[in-house]
Amino acid sequence: MNHLLRHLAPISDSGWELLDDEARERLGPSLAARRLVDFDGPRGWRHSATNLGRSGEVEPPADGVSAAQRRVLPLVELRAEFTVSRAELADNDRGAVDADLESLDDAAQRIAIAENVAVFHGWAKAGIIGIAEASPVKARPLGDGAEGYPRSVANAVEALREVGVEGPYGLALGPDEYTRVIETAEHGGYPLFDHLAKILEGPIVWAPGVKGAVVLSLRGGDFLYESGQDLAIGYSHHDAETVHLYLEESFSFVVATPEAAAPLGS
Amino acid sequence: MGFDQYHEPPEELSPETRTFARMCASLTEEAEAIGWYEQRLAIEQDADAKAIMSDAQGEEFKHFAMDLEFLLRRTPRWKQICEGVLFQDGDIVEHGEAAEAASEDGDSDDESTGAADGSLGIGSLRGEER
């Protein structure tokens, strides 16, 4: 038993298997940040803060001493609530293979987007600075037409190399930009996707929540995602017809090397 | 020493179980070595010899920790119980009993999630294709 209170839900073992499998299947493709940044943890639900290794001045409690206070980054909690019909769960127990889990699918998309936005664009009220906003690298805008993408991405890679940031490099693309890339073939029929992958020497990632694109180094040590509770399904309450559940996680994110990424605006 | 880390006929054991047994044997050996160095250090009078033995015991601490971490990563319930006991203030026996009970309560959850903490076990996705 833990804080997720799953044992209190009126859900059978096969029902939990159905929900967990569906959540994993839906979350996997959308969790773009986890494909590109360093992941540390999970350190558990009780883990509350990331050590920043810094301190700030604080007025001492008495004369004759100096004082400092450690600075930490508190972990944030994200929760996306959803419901499941008890009738659907009962049908699953009977062997049905087409359970309606739309509410879970929506929740998975919401929490994945929130995680991506926090990592790539920041979350000021939670003290998280995103990769794109932290970067001092001035790169060429991505532009509206996919034909200009190779030049923009190559320009971004070059900008990173110029400041001493080695590859391989990854590319996080917003959904519209990603669609343009996979739809486009260059002169001679060469797929744009393959051309970009060759420039980057690394992955191109579909990143819902990302505006435009971000090129970043994958050498490690630059972008640090710290997981407390990794994504999990917990139980809230139920009535005769519906079970109320949620997807939840806790994490922090720190940009250690701002110049290791180059944002590309739309 | 032969193959006496196996309690059952090795040919009947899976490769994973044989590896698990080897690592358990290794863990035991590291713990024994830590105990031996502790005794030697208690009676050694030569400061240089003592410093070397202390350094060697530090190596055994490291080996023990690595062996244990390997085994815990492959044994969710063992890991769960250890999480309830290790690095906690307070009564060790109470923590142990509570951790064991909690692991029994959580058995049905663990079967469906595959993660000791009840999570989906997604973690890092580096290196996975979209």
Whether the Cβ atoms of residue A157 and residue A191 lie closer than 8 Å to each other: no
CA angle (A75 as vertex; A72, A80 as ends), nearest 5: 165
User: What are the two backbone dihedrals, phi and then psi, of residue A55, each rounded to the nearest 5 degrees?
Assistant: -135, 160
- Evaluate whether A116 touches A210 at the Cβ level (below 8 Å): yes
pLDDT number for residue A187: 66
Answer yes or no: do A232 and B113 touch at CB < 8 A.
Answer: yes
Identify the pLDDT of residue B108.
40
B111–A13 C-beta distance less than 8 A = yes
Interface membership of B42 toward A (CB under 8 Å): no
- The answer, yes or no, to whether residue B105 has pLDDT greater than 90, is no
Is B89 an interface residue toward A (CB < 8 Å)?
A: no
Task: Say yes or no to pLDDT of B91 above 80.
Answer: yes
CB contact under 8 A, B126 and A13: no
Predicted local confidence at residue B12, as pLDDT? 84
The candidate with the shortest Cα–Cα distance to A217, out of A158, A145, A176, A144, is: A158
> Residue A242 is which amino acid?
T
Q: What is the pTM of this model?
A: 0.74
Burial (CB < 10 A; 0-12, 13-18, 19+), residue A235, is middle
For residues A55 and A71, is the Cβ–Cβ distance under 8 A?
yes
- The minimal CB distance from A31 to the residues B105, B111, B122 is found for B122
- What ipTM was estimated for this complex? 0.88
Residues of chain A in contact with residue B117, where contact means CB-CB under 8 angstroms, are: 2, 42, 44-45, 229-230, 232
Residue of A nearest to B123 (CA): A230
* pLDDT at B109 > cutoff 60: no
CA distance A60 to B1: 62
Would you state the pLDDT for residue A78? 98
Segment B49-68, tens digit of pLDDT: 999 999 999 999 999 999 99
pLDDT in tens, B16-41: 889 999 999 999 999 999 999 999 99
Contact (CB, 8 A) for A182 and A236 = no
The answer to whether the Cβ–Cβ distance between B117 and A229 falls below 8 Å is: yes
- State how far the Cα of A171 lies from the Cα of A178, in Å rounded to an integer: 10
Distances (CA, A) of A157 to A12, A130, A214, B44: 51, 19, 11, 60
What are the phi and psi torsion angles at B16 (to 5°)? -65, -40
Instruction: Name the residue in chain B with its Cα closest to that of A16.
Output: B112
**In the predicted structure, residue B1 carries a pLDDT above the cut 90:** no
Per-residue pLDDT of chain A (266 residues), as tens digits, is 689 999 999 999 999 999 999 999 999 999 999 999 999 988 889 899 999 999 999 999 999 999 999 999 999 999 999 999 999 999 999 999 999 999 999 999 999 999 999 999 999 999 999 999 999 987 678 877 888 899 999 999 999 999 999 989 999 999 999 998 888 887 666 888 999 999 999 999 999 999 999 999 999 999 999 999 999 999 999 999 999 999 999 999 999 999 999 999 86
Q: B129 burial class (0-12, 13-18, 19+ CB within 10 angstroms)?
A: exposed
Kindly tell me the burial class for residue B62, based on how many C-beta atoms sit within 10 Å of its own C-beta (0-12, 13-18, 19 or more). Answer: exposed
